[in-house]
């Protein structure tokens, strides 16, 4: 199904009051400098027609409320409506945020059941992983109306100033403003906090170098319900090892991906690989940072080269996942903040260099603790929240199901590997697959 909408309007939303002169030059942090240079963080919030109509709100009212509340909240998040200057700062010039509206002649249910999941891009103002050159906004929004009365809010945040946690905090602050809950709005933590902790350096590094642009990629969804995860953890819970749900799901997807690559290569053993997991460092700082701290407060935890000569043991991979994630600890963060930061950067470069040499890198990012499902703008909480696949092979984004107990995994593989991956018997044993 080809999803095409009709452009209704295109606006630029500016903050309701100008940014003071002394705040107009916003220095980004070292971690922001290391973020992917042209990527946006994409998130889609769906609100069903019954929920919207239950509040007696029409689309025009929704649009006006969103624009007015966005203008108000941007006074607190003023870098979001500025423009990047090189790789070191944001000019907070109040140029504004792109806000477009589209109308679709299809039902929302058809969108959610679309067999061509990549076509969901039509619900964003542009391709978040390949934006046109004319788009230099730090944030862009598309409000979508469907024939049934349901709506979808597609938001893109520049990865140079925001990660998944930042996106969730902003959306909830915006939602509280829209709902008129002024006293409940949680302002971002001190905006310069990340820059003070991780001062910018004279550095240029692209951690996606050599990874983007692979052809014949496909993204599909797996759902691990609470009962699936419990059974999987029970299977792994031996030898005094009790994995978290993220460790367990990561290990199973990694194992299934390796087995798929082995099957398509025709080799007798699985290829050597590296596992990379994005780790939110807000809670690993001393003292800990607020979940409302903005910026790229995460680090990639990189495993050693993993070579398997015989059978791939799920338990072994789960232990590697745990060991790798736990590398990003207080000592690691201290080195990143201090004079040894080049050692940390060099270790991060190792997995980029490995990818360039053809060694598969399996990347994971967990968004399961980000409160996207709390974003109530005045017509109820989202019916469904999702993102889109990153155009890099072997990359997985983990998101919470609406009840918070399950996990959705958005898995991007080559088309050939996906054919093997989606019929892996162990994967099918512990997950429900949406491979239409």
| Ordered per-residue pLDDT tens for the chain, 436 residues | 456 889 999 999 999 999 999 999 999 999 999 888 889 999 999 999 998 988 888 999 999 999 999 999 999 999 999 999 988 899 999 999 999 999 999 889 888 876 455 568 899 999 999 899 899 999 999 999 999 999 999 999 999 999 999 999 999 999 999 998 766 677 787 788 999 999 998 877 666 665 666 678 999 899 999 999 999 999 887 767 889 999 999 999 999 999 999 999 888 788 889 999 999 999 999 899 999 999 999 999 999 989 887 788 899 999 999 999 999 999 989 988 887 887 777 777 776 777 777 788 999 999 999 999 999 999 999 999 999 988 899 999 999 999 999 999 999 999 999 999 999 999 999 998 764 4
Measured between alpha carbons, how far is 354 from 361 in angstroms, rounded to an integer?
8
| 226-236 helix and 245-265 helix, angle to the nearest 10 degrees | 80
CB proximity list for 425: less than 8 A, separation 6 or greater: none
pLDDT in tens, 150-201: 999 999 999 999 999 999 999 999 999 999 876 667 778 778 899 999 999 8
The answer to whether 382 and 372 are in contact (CB under 8 A) is yes
159 given a catalytic annotation: yes
Catalytic residue among 206, 316, 376, 434: 376
Measured between alpha carbons, how far is 15 from 113 in angstroms, rounded to an integer?
37
Catalytic residue among 51, 159, 277, 362: 159
| Numbers of helices and strands, H then E, in the chain | 13, 16
Q: Supply the DSSP string of 299-353, one letter for each residue.
A: EEEEPPPB--SSPPPHHHHHHHHHHHHTTSSHHHHHHHHSTTHHHHHHHHHHHHH
* Structure-token pair, residue 172: 């909830």
């Amino acid at each position: 199904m080809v999803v095409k909408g009709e452009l209704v309007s295109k606006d630029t939303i500016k903050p309701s009051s100008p940014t003071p002169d002394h705040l107009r030059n916003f220095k980004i942090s070292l971690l922001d400098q290391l973020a992917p240079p042209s990527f946006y963080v994409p998130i889609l919030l769906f609100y069903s027609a019954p929920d919207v109509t239950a509040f007696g709100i029409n689309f025009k009212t929704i649009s006006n409320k969103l624009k007015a509340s966005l203008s108000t909240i941007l006074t607190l998040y003023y870098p979001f409506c500025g423009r990047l200057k090189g790789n070191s700062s944001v000019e907070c010039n109040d140029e504004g945020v792109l806000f477009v509206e589209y109308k679709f002649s299809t039902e929302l249910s058809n969108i959610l059941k679309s067999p061509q999941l990549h076509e969901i891009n039509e619900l964003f103002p542009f391709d978040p992983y390949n934006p046109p050159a004319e788009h230099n906004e730090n944030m862009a929004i598309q409000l979508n109306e469907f024939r049934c009365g349901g709506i979808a809010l597609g938001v893109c945040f520049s990865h140079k100033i925001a990660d998944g946690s930042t996106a969730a905090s902003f959306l909830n602050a915006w939602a509280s403003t829209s709902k008129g809950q002024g006293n409940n709005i949680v302002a971002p933590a001190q905006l310069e906090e990340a820059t003070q902790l991780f001062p910018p350096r004279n550095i240029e590094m692209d951690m996606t170098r050599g990874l983007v642009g692979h052809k014949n990629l496909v993204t599909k969804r797996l759902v691990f319900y609470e009962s699936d995860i419990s059974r999987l953890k029970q299977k792994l819970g031996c030898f005094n090892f009790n994995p978290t749900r993220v460790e367990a799901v990561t290990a199973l997807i990694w194992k299934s991906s390796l087995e798929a690559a082995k099957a398509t290569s025709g080799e007798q053993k699985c290829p050597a690989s590296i596992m990379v997991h994005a780790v939110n460092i807000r809670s690993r700082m001393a003292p800990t940072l607020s979940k409302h701290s903005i910026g790229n407060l995460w680090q990639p935890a990189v495993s050693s080269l993993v070579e398997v000569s015989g059978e791939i043991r799920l338990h072994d991979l789960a232990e590697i996942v745990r060991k790798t994630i736990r590398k990003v600890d207080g000592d690691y963060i201290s080195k990143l903040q201090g004079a040894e930061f080049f050692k940390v950067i060099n270790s991060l470069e190792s997995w980029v260099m490995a990818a360039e040499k053809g060694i598969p890198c399996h990347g994971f990012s967990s968004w399961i603790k980000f409160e996207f499902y709390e974003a109530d703008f005045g017509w109820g909480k989202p019916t469904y929240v999702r993102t889109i696949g990153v155009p890099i092979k072997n990359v997985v984004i983990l998101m919470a199901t609406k009840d918070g107990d399950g996990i959705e995994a958005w898995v991007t593989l080559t088309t050939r590997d996906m054919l093997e991956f989606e019929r892996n018997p162990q994967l099918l044993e512990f997950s429900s697959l949406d491979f239409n």
